[in-house]
Amino acid sequence: MEEGNRTNTYLIPANSKKSMLLFGVFNKVDLTIFIIGIGVSFLLMMFLPVSNFWVAILSISPGLICSFLVFPIPNYHNIRTVIRNAWIFYTTRQRYIWKGWCFEYGERSKK
C-alpha cells in the first residue's frame, strides 16, 4: 500500500470476544458457579459415606449440574445463557410487528 493512499482497513478477528473471557470460555460469574459447584461436591464427598451408590450420585450432583450450566455451546455463550433466554421469552409478553402487503404505511390515502 502506498503511504499517501492509506485507509482504515481493520480486520476484526472472529474470536475477539474470547479474549475478554477467562481461559477463553468463562466469564467471572460462570467460573464462580463452576468453582462453587465443584467445591460443594468435594465437601459432600468428604463428609458423606460414598460407598452407597445413591449417596455418591447425590454428592457429585452439584458439580455435574454446575458443569452442565457453564458448558459452552455454539451460537450462545453457554447453557445458562440458553436457559435465561428461554425463560425471558416465555415469561415476558412478546410484541410482534407485522407489516404485510395489505399494511398501509403512514396515513390512509384518500382516493
What 8-state DSSP symbol labels residue 25?
T
78-101 pLDDT tens trace: 888 888 889 998 998 877 776 666
**Residues of the chain above pLDDT 90, percent:** 31
Model pTM above 0.85: no
Q: Cα separations (Å) of 6 from 2, 3, 9, 23? A: 7, 6, 9, 36
Give me the pLDDT at residue 106, please. 56
Assess contact for 66 and 33: CB atoms under 8 A.
yes
11-32 pLDDT tens trace: 655 555 666 666 666 788 888 9
